[in-house]
Amino acid sequence: MTSGQQPPETGPWFRTRSGLVLIAFLVIAGFFLVTEHTAHLLGILPYLLLLACPLLHFFHRGHGGAHGGTHGGDDRPRREGEER
């Protein structure tokens, strides 16, 4: 390469011909996977809902948590000289 030439810029991989073919194949395979196994997916749904309950309790940090009191106020007694 001479000093005046720059390498051709390449776009994202999914804009190439092989990338488009791969995406089309994955979409078609996903469609057939879902249509052929819908009964299996719907059969496992109640178990996924039951699994979601403890996971939500584990990861949910709402209602104050480490950031302060509950329901917008801090009800603990104050020490002498302590600011609110």
Residue 55 belongs to what domain range? 14-60
- Residue 76 gets which letter from DSSP? S
Given pLDDT bands bounded at 50, 70 and 90, which one contains residue 60? confident
Rounded to whole angstroms, how far apart are CA atoms 24 and 18?
A: 10
* pLDDT at 65 > cutoff 80: no
Task: Find where tokens 């709402």 sit.
Answer: 62
Q: Which residue has the higher pLDDT, 7 or 19?
A: 19
Is residue 78 a part of any domain in this protein? no
pLDDT at position 22 is 95
Is residue 1 a part of any domain in this protein? no
Question: Percentage of the chain with pLDDT > 90?
Answer: 26
pLDDT at position 31 is 95
Is residue 49 a part of any domain in this protein? yes
Is residue 75 a part of any domain in this protein? no
Rounded to whole angstroms, how far apart are CA atoms 37 and 13?
A: 31
HEC sequence for 1-32: CCCCCCCCCCCCHHHCHHHHHHHHHHHHHHHH
* pLDDT at 40 > cutoff 70: yes
- Residue 66 gets which letter from DSSP? G
